[in-house]
Amino acid sequence: MNAKIAATAHSTPKKILSNFDLEKIVDTSDEWIRSRTGIKQRYIVENGEASSDISTKIAEQLLEKSNIHSDEIDLIIVGTVTPDHYTPSTAALVQKNINANNAWGFDLSAACSGYIFGLETGSNFIKSGQYKNVMVIGVDTMSSILDFQDRDTCVIFGDGGGGAILQPTNEKYGIIDSILHMDGNGGDYLIVPAGGSRIPASIDSVKNRSHFIKQDGKTVFKHAVKGMADVSKKILARNKLSGSDISLFIPHQANKRIIDAAAQKCGIEEDKVLINIEKYGNTTAGTIPIAMNEAITENRINDGDYILLSSFGAGFTWGSMLIKWGMRS
């Protein structure tokens, strides 16, 4: 038994923050941002919007597209590092909002790898034979932890997310393989220092701007290129495939230079690489599900295609997933 993707969806806030808008806020320029990241704009929430609001819109679309009732959802997994609250979980809020009365669930924290980690977790629940409909969402409201005085981070990130319904199939398609990694030695290179039990919120932590995300960009870049390329090459080799066998490569949208380098090392041609970072920025756990749903909407994925996912994020976390596409019963 495999887990197949039965439906996909994505959602973003309505508000657009362009590079030209950022020029008015921080010492940067449209040219500087585009040349280093490939980003032209990003979506950000309005006051009062949160990750559960975006997630609920995704969940409602997934129910409609998969033609199932909310009572049929068995499990909800939300990959996010920007939950509405420490508790209750974002998954619990989504469960309430869509009236998924028979579902349980949890949040999964793996930063930019959150969606791939969530798909792997959900697929294993499906393979257990006890679950028929698993909802996996990757979402982040990164603007809530951005320091708009720090041009090295505030220009990169955006808000949004996407998701999928996983269902069982006895066909030879669906989620075929995955390789996931974590190395806590990289934790300090991409971190929100305060707000947890290590440095609880205080007057000093707020004054020191310690509740915003901090990153060592050069170190993260180096590890991201190597991590995404190596794990993608490994999963191809393990399944006796090469870059030419891949119909579409959907990498985490962190930085166009990282994506280009990873694709080149895997031998994947440029026209088979999905890049949409120019519109959304880095939505952390949201990048891959947004890109996947766009690809389906644009008819870039067909039954029988091999789809390769790859991610790298804080932790460090990274991984790759191989999917043989098929939505038929």
With beta carbons less than 8 A apart as the criterion, state whether 250 and 115 touch.
no
* Amino acid of residue 278: E
User: 302: how many CB neighbours lie within 10 A of its CB?
Assistant: 12
Residue 232 half-sphere exposure toward CB, CA atoms < 13 A:
31
- Token pair in block for residue 112: 């930019």
The Cα angle at residue 178 between residues 259 and 305, in degrees rounded to 5: 70
- Is residue 195 classed as helix, strand or coil in its secondary structure? coil
Catalytic residues: 112, 252, 282
CA-nearest of 118, 171, 104, 136 to 7 is: 136
DSSP labels, 119-174: HHHHHHHHHTTS-S-EEEEEEEEGGGG--TT-HHHHTTB-EEEEEEEEEEE-SS-E
